[in-house]
Amino acid sequence: MMTFATYNLKGGVGKTAAAVNLSYLASLGGHKTLLWDLDPQGAASFYFRIEPTATKNSATLLERKRGLGPAVRGTNYPALEIIPADLGYRDMDLALGELRKPNERLGKLLAPLAADYDLAFIDCAPHLSLTSENVFDLAHWLLVPVIPTPLAVRAYTQLREFCERGKLAHKKLLPFFSMVDRRRQLHCKVVTQFAQEHPEVLHSFVPYTSQVEKMGEQRAPVQTFAPSSPGARAFVALWAAICARVGLPNGP
């Protein structure tokens, strides 16, 4: 099972929209796909019309003997299943800190499901913590949406430096631009400069568009209600770029 994580130090950068739309496209392409909503806010679960569960604390989650299998739920899309957000995730760092090998626990929870899925996507909360370090360790690729502004670029630089200092595989990083407005000179300038300095960037971006914002109203991936919109086409192109980069077949 190949595992992707959508992650950023900053919130509000389109991380969850990417997780939802890319996992949906992966399932359309013939891959049995699992989405793990690891953000206690539960936005990805909300988009798939599933309410977060309410386990009392993260220690209960981490002590599951059968892994995450009992938590898996179906979606309205046949090849796509989800592990919904859990309110107990808010205490995840504290619970992980009490374990002997805290950086390995989430990988061990997910491992029993590897035989059941081709791909997994993890939607992470926007902070740097033991939980995110677990994700850095278990994910094959980190999909990092970057808004084309100096502060967002700085956050990506901080993430890359953290990976390098911690001897984490910074080659896992797959940054891409999100919420791009081509009418804004600053956006165009940042995109161009970033591509020159970061050859790892994916050369497909998601524009700032009202159709993606309407996902909250529709509670569905943008391809399901506005398939011809710029936002939907952008995610299709982004998923194709990801597949090409990681050597993954893109199609049934």
Domains delineated in the chain: 2-246 (3.40.50.300)
Other Cβ atoms less than 10 A from the Cβ of 110: the count is: 23
**pLDDT score at 97:** 67
**pLDDT score at 132:** 82
**pLDDT score at 58:** 62
Q: Is 199 exposed, middle or buried (0-12, 13-18, 19+ CB in 10 A)?
A: exposed
Flag residues of the chain having pLDDT under 70: 54-67, 95, 97-103, 166-170, 251-252
**pLDDT score at 125:** 87
| pTM attached to this predicted model | 0.93
Neighbouring residues of 37: CB distance < 8 A, sequence distance ≥ 6: 43, 44, 45, 52, 82, 83, 84, 85, 123
Least Cα distance to 155 among 28, 43, 13, 30 occurs for 13
